[in-house]
Structure 1
């Protein structure tokens, strides 16, 4: 076979090559959309539980034992009331109870109210302890400090040392 013809065929094959050894690698990596797949899997699991969507839920708060709250804003809520099953999904945030206090007082149960009282008492104790040192400092400024040393004796010792140096 003629070397010129062979080179011509190789050049034509390289231009039409789709894959295999010697091809240029792809530079952009295509990522699959995992959240859409998770959402489809979630919807399938919810259908198996026979839950129905509940529209119009603005926020959901889940109270933890440590005093924190798992807070969902505009979540998707599904429920099967007969099975006492609720599914809440969306973006949740861990917040402290004090951050949400004015708006969630009507949601608090007896356990949460007790923890809220403890939290309020500890908050008041912290504020009082911060105010006490300031008040103590003000009182100390008004008082005259006690004399620890006899300043006359120290002055006399200095004078004696100076006299000894002069002699």
Structure 2
């Protein structure tokens, strides 16, 4: 037999086997979808903690040390006070703090205000 043909057959056999030498061949490798299962596991664990929905929250802003903000618009907020657990779900956006400035000033603490002053000095 031709050595090139033998090498090609060995490569094809290696692609079909999911384990090592001596394992059964499979026609396709099954790839598990993790995003949906992770969400289901998270929701079941939150249900065990007996979280309750908190209505009426229009936005959630999480301010990071580097000056960026994780912004949730109309999130689903759940809480379990005895377990000290809060869950914020929804579509999140990463924004700079300067983009959020007019409406975010009342949410900033003292450490964020000093960071904001540094940003203002850098701009001017």
Identify the structure with bigger relative contact order (alpha carbons < 8 Å, sequence gap 6+). Answer: 2
Within 2, Cα distance between the matches of 1:71 and 1:49?
A: 26
Within 2, Cα distance between the matches of 1:111 and 1:84?
A: 24
Alpha-carbon offset, residue 75 of structure 1: 0.9
Within 2, Cα distance between the matches of 1:74 and 1:64?
A: 20
More helix by share: 1
State TM-score, norm by structure 2.
0.66
Q: Which has the higher Rg, Structure 1 or Structure 2?
A: 1
Match of 1:118 in 2: 118
Aligned residues: 93
Alpha-carbon offset, residue 92 of structure 1: 0.9
Within 2, Cα distance between the matches of 1:57 and 1:35?
A: 26
**Deviating runs (4+, > 6 A) in structure 1?**
none
State TM-score, norm by structure 1.
0.50
Structure 2 gap ranges (5+): 1-32
Alpha-carbon offset, residue 80 of structure 1: 1.4
**Any idea what the Cα deviations from partners look like across 1:81-131, whole Å, max 9, x if unmatched?**
23322111111111000000001111001111111111111111xxxxxxx
Match of 2:76 in 1: 76
- Give the aligned CA root-mean-square deviation in angstroms: 2.0
